[in-house]
Chain A
Amino acid sequence: MSSEAPAGDEATTAPDETATAPAGAIAPRRLHPAGIAVLGVGSLRELALPLGIAFAAMVFGSGSGRPILRAVMYAAIGAVIAVLAGYLRWATTRWSVGDGRIRLRTGVLSEKVTDVPLGRVQAIDTVHGPLQRLFGVRGVQVQTAGGGRESEITLPAVSPADVELLRAAVRRRGEPAAAEPAPLAERRLGRRQLLVAALTAGQVGVLLPLLAVVPQLGEELWGNDIETAGRQGMRLVPESAPEWILAGLGLILLAWLLSTAGALFAFAGFTIARDQDRLRVRRGLLARREATVPVARVQAVRVVEGVLRRPFGLATVRAEVAGYAKEAAAAQTLFPLLRRGEVEPFLAAILPELADGIDGLDRPPRRALRRYVLPPAALLLALGAAACVAVPDAAPWPLLAVPPAAGYGVARWRAAGWRIEGGRLAVRFRRMARITVLAPTRRLQEHGVRQTVLQRRGELADVEVRVGAGTRGVVRHLDARMAGRLFDALRREEVALVDRAAEPAPPRARAAPGR
């Protein structure tokens, strides 16, 4: 939480206790020479778009003949650029450990020095991309508490021996090393599970609006010109309703295939292991990633039952980790696919600190049902009516969207629920996927109640909790008195936490309230 140490002023560095332990120091050194390739390809990727456009212009341009020759020439130029850029960046990069910090010095034209105090290092994560594996090296990401989208220090190519040195240096400074204990629990994603996880990874919720836009887009682009533009030339543009539907289905299929492939690559070989106070996650097909998450930084667990998974009783388990909120969903995954019934035992084994049942929640009263159903149904009714007026030919069809909207409301009502028990909070709600948030009440960042004028008449109220930057749970339309009591109960838990922490020698000191 303290401000980050700016670039180094070694002279003034306080001679703290670590300075007397030069055993953990690593002298300034270059990346592994494989870094030339990794950095070069990275540079090339940054240039990919302009190069690609130039390339396309060459090949398809109406210039002189021999496009193939030109293409080859450009490929060669690209390769030369990659090697040069890679070499320059490699030659100007140095990293070191000493004086209680990791230092990275980079920059071809302007030098940039990044210092990360060892005490702030949360984990040393590794990535084995295809290139790294080719050369037998690892990419290293130094994860810190600040945690933006990328880690503050990224070393694209480090020999395995150096990775061990770095890990040892961090361990020496961090909590007294538990001497790399054997994992207490481990779970692996099987091949069939991977396949099922990939096939059900698609997010229908993202696709549906797209589907609605497609016909409009077609009309915008081609409008009434379809006739005049000549049928033969524009056969790609669907003309009748069935063709539009086919086109839409095709698009959905394409998106689904893409999401399936993405999930296959991201989750192949997924393994999670728990040792003393860390979770280790390994995953990835082309780029093998190895991430370490300190258990103390897991704020909450989200059990996500996606639209495609819910019918089969399947769920994904994700973690809200302080500092990781902006990273990709895959990076927050604790396990890609579990049966509902497996979730609790899985958490009990891997993350008992946050384990809790996902069933047996208190639900909103029956009189709240219509409040869930009416808004979406009324909205779609209004939209449908407007569509009918605007396009009389389409007459009753737009109104067909009303029953699904009402059904969505019912589903939301059935999903909503909450429970507080033994300092653990469970909150369940549904947007498209059904999400259950499990969090210790002492990890809550804030909580609140909300009541609209209409809810006041029906004696209902919403309850909202925030656990971290990425996890916000809202249960709508609870009984108002219940909501008030929930609000008070959460407050009591927080006050109890303060009292406990104020005791001289709290027995549960391990669960330090700070970050």
Chain B
Amino acid sequence: MLTAGPTTSTPEPSRTLAPAARVLWRLEGAATAVVGLVAAGVLQATAGGTRAALGWAAALIAAAVAVVLLPELRWRRWRWEVREHEIDIRRGTLAVTRTLVPMLRVQHVDTKRDLLQQALGLATVVFHTAAGANEIPALTVAEAAQVRDRIAELARTADEL
């Protein structure tokens, strides 16, 4: 199940995100699931009966998908690799996207951490090109710093060519 997306002769990216990424996404999923559960509760209070039961069922299924299934699938699918001339990323659950960013085009790199990520010791690497930004989310802090510095170094040498 891990070979996904159209076959290319470009080697698949090999690195995974930090295992704690799953926890991060579960928490984020739980936040959205709460909204659905509240909506079901409101339905229960106003309509009641079978409609409310259906509402609860839908909300629970959605919550299970958002909290249990999706984070796992996402994590298994996510792959990245920083090579000398390019950054290679593969991601997505229902739709698999493979993106290649030439190192020559990277203008700058940063890492960022939101509150949840700080609590979990994770960080996101963001690299910018003239066309926009791409991310490698949820690496461990140490690895993110390492990746950021490596991309910065490679992008700089690429610029000097």
Interface residue ranges, A against B (CB under 8 Å)? 1, 299, 322, 444-453, 456, 461, 466-469, 471-472, 480-481, 483-485, 487-488, 490-491, 494-495, 497-498, 501-502, 513-515
**With A446-B129, A468-B130, A491-B10 as given contacts, are A451 and B105 in contact (CB-CB < 8 Å)?**
no
Closest chain B CB from A466 CB (angstroms): 4
Using a Cβ cutoff of 8 Å, how many contacts connect chains A and B? 106
Q: Which of B1-9, B38-46, B141-149 is the interface stretch? A: B1-9
Instruction: Check B101 against A451 for contact (C-beta < 8 Å).
Output: no
Q: Which of B18-26, B27-35, B92-100, B117-125 is the interface stretch? A: B92-100
Instruction: Check A453 against B131 for contact (C-beta < 8 Å).
Output: no
B161 touches A (CB below 8 Å):
yes
CA distance A468 to B131 in the complex (A): 4
> Per a CB cutoff under 8 Å, which of B10, B105, B129 touches A488?
B10
Closest chain A CB from B140 CB (angstroms): 25
B16 touches A (CB below 8 Å):
no
Q: Residues of B contacting A453 with CB < 8 Å?
A: 94-95
> Per a CB cutoff under 8 Å, which of A451, A467, A498 touches B104?
A498
CA distance A502 to B101 in the complex (A): 19
Q: Residues of A contacting B131 with CB < 8 Å?
A: 445-446, 466-469, 471-472
Instruction: Check B161 against A498 for contact (C-beta < 8 Å).
Output: yes
> Per a CB cutoff under 8 Å, which of B6, B94, B100, B134 touches A461?
B6
> Per a CB cutoff under 8 Å, which of A452, A481, A483, A490 touches B100?
A490
B interface: dominant SS: mixed
> Per a CB cutoff under 8 Å, which of A449, A469, A471, A513 touches B97?
A449
What would 16 more interface pairs be, CB under 8 Å, given A447-B100, A448-B99?
Answer: A445-B105, A446-B134, A448-B98, A448-B100, A450-B92, A451-B4, A461-B5, A480-B7, A481-B7, A485-B8, A487-B100, A494-B86, A494-B102, A495-B86, A513-B104, A514-B159
Give me 22 A-to-B residue pairs in the complex whose CB atoms sit less than 8 angstroms apart, sorted by A's number. Answer: A322-B130, A445-B102, A446-B102, A446-B131, A447-B99, A447-B100, A448-B98, A448-B99, A449-B6, A450-B5, A451-B6, A453-B94, A468-B130, A469-B132, A472-B131, A481-B7, A484-B8, A485-B8, A494-B86, A494-B100, A494-B104, A495-B85
